[in-house]
Structure 1
């Protein structure tokens, strides 16, 4: 008996970078298996981003939902909670707003989805020196020999090799929020992203640690789920030590549920 492939919501945060969001959306609508909906978690972008999303909505074969709140510095956990609260489907595929997906990205995540498991993939880096050409061409297709990329080994899609990666019950250093997927019901069980986290970083890994604490296991998506990350300057890490303290406490005390999360939007 064949396994039922879940329906999914593709969720991505964005903030005032419509050029990158445009390439992301082009790649999303060129998937071999489309997501059932695309939800853009907008952390307070200006009008230009709204207009871009409206243009894509006109011709999209799947609903595109724009979840926006006012710009109040970095509030990614809050806007992601609001977005996932609106998700209509059982499985969440999360990418960053500066990701271009391989055409089989959604297919790979859904075919590898299993109950009581989250998936995490890697990314190929698009170099700063290539950005002008990237945006001019609106390029969304890459391969091992493409110009302007690093980590070429990560461009290889060899599905049968991905089966050799086993589930883990500890958080991997390879985990990246730019390329992961999980069951919405599991996300709600741990109350989603922790809105006590401030500034950039740690929000994805801290939430994943709570999934591990309730017994959900992680599986690395290697040789499938290929993603290309558009270069940008690193965000300020002024507050990251505070976020690490919260994450360390989550790990040490096996915390499974936090007070300020997705439940307030359900």
Structure 2
């Protein structure tokens, strides 16, 4: 396998099925999928069993019990489980365009991580997308999206089919390349070097802090915002709270001020699991 695609999810099988159908339609097939499951019910496990059979996808379901928002913890477990040297991170509400994996592999480079973005859809439009729309790639066509309620906006240029325009936009966009959890990739050795994600962090900037430590370690971001395309399905976020934001911001400030590379609350907390994987 040339890549491991790590997809975070929590009790959202409707969206996850659409995302995985997107991976069944990729232009390359030499990748594994690791579902980083933050405590979903049996419904998600049943879905994965069916999709493995229907689409012949290589899926490793990494799960732990539901103890509230523990995304950083399950991501670390997924990193440990990954069998390839290159890891692509995304979320279970982000449908990939057919060249998504190929694009991350094409632009991968030693001493860099890739920074992508997402194309957000409204709740109404998100619910209109069917499996057939994904298989036919209609859901990435601007005319089709506009016919189903997408508003005209300059940001729609992100779905351009022109490689020349995409190159230009990647060069001139003022958006700073950062680690964006829904669309980013890095070498596994670099992730291990910074000890993975900080498990003290809940929702709110936890992905950015991880990227800041990568940069502190000498790994530079490379923008693929207009190359690696995903559409984001809108949903409720019941796990958002101010206290978590404040705690995360304090951790990020420490990372910045101390130019911290390694967290003390990361992959090291799962040393027994790493040993078990090696033994297996």
Determine if the TM-score, normalized by the shorter chain, exceeds 0.5. yes
- Which aligned pairs between 1:56-75 and structure 2 lie closer than 5 A? 56-75=51-70
2:193 maps to what in 1? Answer: 189
Listed as ranges, the gaps of 5+ residues in structure 1 are: 1-5
CA RMSD of aligned residues (A): 2.0
1:143 maps to what in 2? Answer: 141
TM-score, scaled to structure 2: 0.85
1:121 maps to what in 2? Answer: 116
- Which aligned pairs between 1:71-150 and structure 2 lie closer than 5 A? 71-135=66-130, 139-140=133-134, 141=137, 142-145=140-143, 146=145, 147-149=148-150
Q: Counterparts of 1:115 and 1:174 in 2: how far apart (Å)? A: 17
Q: Counterparts of 1:219 and 1:118 in 2: how far apart (Å)? A: 6
Paired residues, number = 255
Q: Counterparts of 1:219 and 1:248 in 2: how far apart (Å)? A: 23
TM-score, scaled to structure 1: 0.89
Q: Counterparts of 2:225 and 2:70 in 1: how far apart (Å)? A: 30
SS at match of 1:196: coil
Judge conservation of contact 1:144–1:153 (CA < 8 Å) in 2: no
Q: Counterparts of 2:98 and 2:27 in 1: how far apart (Å)? A: 6
2:204 maps to what in 1? Answer: 201
1:10 maps to what in 2? Answer: 5
Listed as ranges, the gaps of 5+ residues in structure 2 are: 275-280
Q: Counterparts of 1:49 and 1:30 in 2: how far apart (Å)? A: 20
CA distances 1:231-260 after superposition (whole Å, capped 9, x unpaired): 112441321111011011101111011112
2:264 maps to what in 1? Answer: 259
Structure with a larger share of its residues in helix: 2
CA distances 1:47-92 after superposition (whole Å, capped 9, x unpaired): 1111000101124444200001000000000001001100000100
CA distances 1:204-245 after superposition (whole Å, capped 9, x unpaired): 111111100010000110321111000112441321111011
Q: Counterparts of 2:225 and 2:74 in 1: how far apart (Å)? A: 29
2:230 maps to what in 1? Answer: 227
Judge conservation of contact 1:128–1:232 (CA < 8 Å) in 2: yes
Per the alignment, do residues 53 and 62 of structure 1 end up closer, same or farther by CA in structure 2, a change over 3 Å counting? Answer: closer
